[in-house]
Structure 1
């Protein structure tokens, strides 16, 4: 590997040729703090040449370079130069604006205008809305990367306006409108321009693209903002050869995968997906060791990268339903599946994700019946309700590895007998870890909800929904449209009744929003019971008995609900 390193200023680098952000690079990701800190460092620095680190590129044909390291800084510098150019234009200094613009866009050997810095992922927003001298400001999608570019550019423009006010300038001869004691805006703008162009970095040039992939991993392995998904993308795209000069199938396949997570928008979710997918199909590992495991697998056979990318794309669509079940379409028969997945999200648990992914995948591959899928998810929901939502057990990691080993076995299972044996083994294992009822009851009785104490609201609503049931008179009950009502009103606390009694789950029930807000209000217990009876409300089911004794019966009812929920499912 041949590496050449030289100290260069930005103006020298941007005169060398054209720089392309390659497909294995992550998108622009700087936030406000990083942009403002970079701006402040440049503006406040008094030295002639301010050093901003290194830049690593490779060149496969002149005068085009691919950027390996330094993309975030170079993109931000391009935003700065574009903002300075625009300020010169507002001051009527067209020649000065064109002088800056030559570091943003230059004619190539065919005398066709070409941007010095180019990126496919943010096309055409970066090019038209920021880099162009007279952009048309065409309508284009503003995704995650484009929004970050927009935010960064607006921050830079605002900070530049603070340094050199130009917003009231008209074209031609505006200098006189500034007071005598205010610095000449054109000179000030030139000073900022020169500071940006004189920024110095170590320019490191590699021989070829293969070396670039290796250096990318080495340089970024300990970077604070690099994620596993960045490394995996780089790895896969370096292994899968481009089959056509115009069509990069691997890149499009990766982009298709990422688009499935657009609503999620967080890189952490994609990293979680990669981990849960891997431990559901290959072998158990941790997030810190995931990339090493994938790298080893991909290196074993040249076909593995392609196969892995295909599997990731298939699994990503299923995983999206798993992490946000309420945002996806389900058939009426699959309603229970959706509700179990929603419950697991409510419990804020992830250990089971490898198993739920494997179960859903087996179902969509028609290796697992809907009946068995619903039964498995109902048991997983029950286990984590007891284990996590109520008793707050800490997992030593054994549960995650148990899920992973069974998920891998399920992924490879073909026949129904094998699948049933794997499922039976899983729940036999979980049964040994289920907390005893006595511990469950103690924690359950601590559940409390008041208008000023809402921490347990979601779990309490879940408990009451499960105890209440899903149907009444043959009609499905929409629990999302129901709210929590205090049987003994919160207003009684003013008379000295304990908040432990009023807030207890034993004093709560679910009613529809209208009844809660308009009809029950601060009625007495007997008045509320009578009102609900008149509406045909299933009191016996909700109250665990026909009547509700006053405060003395709150804990008894809470215990009855606890017993019902704990005994509702057998692992």
Structure 2
């Protein structure tokens, strides 16, 4: 059980500032900055509601409780290590910095003096000209330098921070976005005031709300193990901490020497520098574990990792350590980045990875991650093609239970990690691919309402048609240049609406590709008004698949028989685009 030394009410001004012990986010725990626009907007809205309520003078509206924080506090409370609360304290500091900068830009002596005081009292100051800067909130190694350059190292002469280079770390982008978000909100709020006095009053009210009105409960613990236990307990009941953060904290806790802790931190630097979004890191960690141990759901991932690794790390003699696990994690992450960014450098393999991305077939990544550990990408070309056929035939067109596919793929990924060969895994995958008759029958009836998947299916059929016709390959442009068109419209004229509209509008036989943006004046018109756009299209799937059959010129109505006939012809091509198992025999 965790020991709690003390729990006390603290305002923001009592937690950070010149008269308080410095709050430090330790390098061996806690995560980087993670609040997105959603959390920052919620924080701002809460502050504004509180500010308005506080101005009524009611005692019940004098404070706003923003939650607990957990610190490791020394016996004399001269230093505090922050284990929980980093997001709220960092965001509050960013908001104070924005108020500071806007005040400085007002230009009046009063505004600039107030800006200088905010900097010295609650962000950072120098005790003397030759003394180093003292920062009242010190972030961990992942964000510390950027936060200082962008927010804290501020000049009272120029009224600006030192500035920081753009960083590809997600946390750095989020810090910058939070600053710009607050800057925009405050500028908009101030625009309604006619003079500087009114603007100063509003900013002063906001500042007072932050410093004196925001209230935390600081839970002080004597050791890192106590703090971590409280930390995990709090975050297990909310969304504040991610699985990735919990895993890192766990590895740091289990590391017995500095070299091991350094290895863990080095790995986390690689993860933060190479993935563009935190969600990608979360997905990678699950796929890494799945590739080695089989399926585990996201909600139970941390508990599973902690339980299994605790047992491994506790063996005597210790043959597997946090240091080794971190090294394996880093190595796998570099391959995973290649997979999700389609950047292996092998043209055919990268093209297949692009197909996975277009289909949102993330379930295939654990198998490819496991396979790539001991095989070159060129050796995996047939495997990735077979996996794509399996995915399209089973899930996209067959609409069969996706969990069955995941169980199969995750199972063979574990076998790959256990030493199985590529040929045996290939045989297993091919054994799951639905045969031609099953696939063709499913294709003839298939509807695709998900635009990205529909577009991909049509693009692959287009490429197949061009190859068969011996014409030049058409480079399909980005989503903004090429669109999926519902030939029978999604919003047809009332007298031309089919009785079973929903059953036909997204049928593959009713879909085609067109270039450019929708033309609102014709997109929902009858076929005669739309026919020219199909005749002039650069796509064979629009010019050479009998689109005219979808219109019955005799009755002047849309024809479901035409949709069926066109889709029947497309199904014949589909069995060649996504082949059955015999293709790889």
Calculate the aligned-residue CA RMSD, in Å: 4.5
Using the alignment, how far apart are the partners of 1:81 and 1:503 within structure 2?
Answer: 52
Contact preservation (8 Å) 1:386, 1:566: no
Aligned to 1:72: 87
Aligned to 2:21: 17
**Pairing 1:551-562 to 2, within 5 Å after superposition:** 558-562=567-571
Using the alignment, how far apart are the partners of 1:508 and 1:102 within structure 2?
Answer: 63
Gap change, CA 1:99 and 1:508, over 3 Å in 2: closer
**Pairing 1:237-386 to 2, within 5 Å after superposition:** 237-241=252-256, 243=258, 248-262=262-276, 265=277, 267-302=278-313, 303-325=320-342, 328-331=343-346, 334-335=347-348, 337-364=349-376, 370-371=378-379, 373-386=380-393
Q: TM-score, normalised by structure 2?
A: 0.73
1:141 deviates by 2.1
Matched residues, number: 512
SS of alignment partner, residue 128 of structure 1: helix
Aligned to 1:566: 575
Gap change, CA 1:460 and 1:50, over 3 Å in 2: closer
Q: TM-score, normalised by structure 1?
A: 0.75
User: Could you tell which deviates more after superposition, 231-240 or 59-68?
Assistant: 59-68
Contact preservation (8 Å) 1:105, 1:116: yes
SS of alignment partner, residue 134 of structure 2: strand
Deviations 1:405-457 (A, max 9, x none): 2111111216xxx54334323432x14xx3773564354355699xxx99833
2:138 to 118, 131, 151: 118
Contact preservation (8 Å) 2:436, 2:575: no
Using the alignment, how far apart are the partners of 1:505 and 1:272 within structure 2?
Answer: 31
1:463 aligns with 2:434: no
Gap change, CA 1:468 and 1:98, over 3 Å in 2: closer
Gap change, CA 1:507 and 1:231, over 3 Å in 2: closer
Using the alignment, how far apart are the partners of 1:448 and 1:82 within structure 2?
Answer: 49
Contact preservation (8 Å) 1:39, 1:156: no
Using the alignment, how far apart are the partners of 2:505 and 2:185 within structure 1?
Answer: 54
Gap change, CA 1:68 and 1:427, over 3 Å in 2: same
| Gapped regions of structure 1 (runs ≥ 5) | 169-176, 514-520
Contact preservation (8 Å) 1:104, 1:131: yes
| Gapped regions of structure 2 (runs ≥ 5) | 314-319, 517-529, 551-560
Deviations 1:136-193 (A, max 9, x none): 533422443233323333444455556667999xxxxxxxx66xxx75x656554443
SS of alignment partner, residue 258 of structure 2: coil
Using the alignment, how far apart are the partners of 1:460 and 1:538 within structure 2?
Answer: 10
Using the alignment, how far apart are the partners of 1:272 and 1:524 within structure 2?
Answer: 42
SS of alignment partner, residue 248 of structure 1: helix
1:561 deviates by 4.0
1:399 to 384, 399, 405: 405
Contact preservation (8 Å) 1:390, 1:440: no
1:215 deviates by 2.4
1:548 deviates by 11
Contact preservation (8 Å) 2:11, 2:216: yes
Using the alignment, how far apart are the partners of 2:332 and 2:99 within structure 1?
Answer: 46
Deviations 1:295-333 (A, max 9, x none): 0122123343222221221112222232232xx2523xx
1:96 deviates by 4.0
SS of alignment partner, residue 372 of structure 2: helix
1:381 deviates by 1.1
Using the alignment, how far apart are the partners of 1:359 and 1:300 within structure 2?
Answer: 26
1:57 deviates by 0.8
Contact preservation (8 Å) 2:288, 2:366: yes
Aligned to 1:56: 70
Contact preservation (8 Å) 2:291, 2:367: yes
Deviations 1:452-483 (A, max 9, x none): x998333222233235448948x8x3553697
Gap change, CA 1:467 and 1:292, over 3 Å in 2: farther
Gap change, CA 1:160 and 1:448, over 3 Å in 2: closer
Deviations 1:21-45 (A, max 9, x none): 2343233233242231242144124
Gap change, CA 1:472 and 1:203, over 3 Å in 2: same
Using the alignment, how far apart are the partners of 1:280 and 1:442 within structure 2?
Answer: 31
2:165 to 118, 140, 145: 140
Using the alignment, how far apart are the partners of 2:497 and 2:183 within structure 1?
Answer: 60
